[in-house]
């Protein structure tokens, strides 16, 4: 069997000026790769050691994966991410696709990325806090790369445990207070509020009922109604 191609001899190990937790490994007088301190210890590299080309390539690949993994953990500490969303973010950061794939395998194995949990939390929070209906939620989750079958299943579960009409009515009251208070004509009021609710993904029939209900509440509360237009 032929000897492995030799990359060179380790002639120095020095601290990386750009990363206090890393070192540069110098091979034949030239910086050849950067390693984290724990990777250096694990690798057993020392000055005077001969490094073959295959081992050098392996260490470089591991370093790339570690950097992608580090950025993935940093991103996840800021906000929850879907698998596809985190993948896109890491690639925009300049990480190579293969390093991203390996880093994602690690965070998935640790349970830090779970598309079902992400989508379930998204549906609950966006529907309760941001007045989003099923159509809008489905579109948002698709943009995050969630599997359509997962989205449909979770939306069905949400619909079974939540009163859709009550959610639309709650949103309609908020929308009326924020966007339609200037409209005292029922047609103008209905058009503005319906448009606002439909853009948030609520079902048209439920929107129609909610708008009519809120208009009756405004009228019964004695708010003025006249024939003003847009």
Q: Does the global pTM surpass 0.85?
A: no
Could you give the percent of the chain with pLDDT greater than 70?
Answer: 91
- Tokens standing for residue 28: 């034949």
Which stretch of DSSP H or E encloses residue 51? strand 50-52
User: How high does pLDDT run on average in the chain?
Assistant: 88
Q: What are 12's strand-pairing partners? A: 26
* Collapsed DSSP state (helix, strand, coil) of residue 67: helix
What is the model's pLDDT at position 6?
Answer: 61
What is the model's pLDDT at position 183?
Answer: 63
Contact 113, 107 (CB under 8 A): yes
Q: What are 6's strand-pairing partners? A: 52
Say which residue, 155 or 20, is predicted with more confidence: 155
Smallest CA-to-CA distance from 215 within 178, 169, 147 is with 169
Indicate whether 193 pLDDT > 50. Answer: yes
What is the model's pLDDT at position 121?
Answer: 95
Question: What angle separates helix 164-179 from helix 204-220, to the nearest 10 degrees?
Answer: 60
Q: What are 9's strand-pairing partners? A: 50
What is the model's pLDDT at position 135?
Answer: 93
- Tokens standing for residue 180: 């339609």
- Tokens standing for residue 178: 């924020």
> Within 13 Å and on the Cβ side, how many CA atoms surround 59?
24
Cα(66)–Cα(85) distance, rounded to whole angstroms?
A: 19
Indicate whether 2 pLDDT > 50. Answer: no
Indicate whether 206 pLDDT > 80. Answer: yes
Say which residue, 6 or 9, is predicted with more confidence: 9
Cα(54)–Cα(120) distance, rounded to whole angstroms?
A: 44
* Per-residue pLDDT tens over the stretch 82-96: 999 999 999 999 999
Q: How far is CA 229 from CA 82, 184, 188, 211, 212, in A?
A: 45, 9, 6, 18, 18
Question: What angle separates helix 204-220 from helix 186-199, to the nearest 10 degrees?
Answer: 140
Smallest CA-to-CA distance from 179 within 191, 161, 168, 162 is with 191
């Amino acid at each position: 069997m032929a000897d492995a191609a030799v990359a060179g001899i380790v002639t120095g190990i020095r601290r990386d000026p750009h990363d206090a937790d890393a070192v540069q490994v110098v091979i034949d007088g030239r910086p050849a790769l950067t390693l984290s301190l724990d990777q250096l210890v694990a690798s057993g590299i020392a000055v005077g050691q001969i490094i073959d080309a295959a081992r050098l390539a392996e260490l470089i690949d591991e370093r790339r994966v570690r950097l992608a993994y580090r950025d993935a953990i940093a991103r996840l500490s800021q906000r929850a991410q879907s698998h596809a969303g985190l993948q896109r973010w890491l690639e925009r950061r300049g990480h190579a696709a293969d390093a991203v794939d390996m880093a994602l395998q690690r965070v998935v194995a640790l349970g830090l990325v779970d598309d079902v949990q992400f989508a379930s939390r998204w549906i609950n929070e966006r529907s309760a806090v941001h007045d989003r209906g099923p159509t809008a939620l489905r579109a948002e989750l698709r943009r995050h790369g969630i599997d359509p079958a997962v989205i449909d299943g979770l939306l069905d579960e949400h619909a079974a445990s939540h009163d859709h009409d009550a959610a639309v009515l709650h949103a309609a009251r908020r929308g009326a207070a924020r966007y339609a208070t200037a409209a005292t004509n029922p047609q103008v009021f209905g058009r503005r509020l319906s448009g606002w609710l439909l853009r948030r993904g609520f079902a048209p029939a439920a929107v129609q009922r909610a708008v009519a209900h809120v208009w009756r509440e405004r009228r019964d509360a004695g708010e003025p109604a006249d024939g003003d237009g847009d």
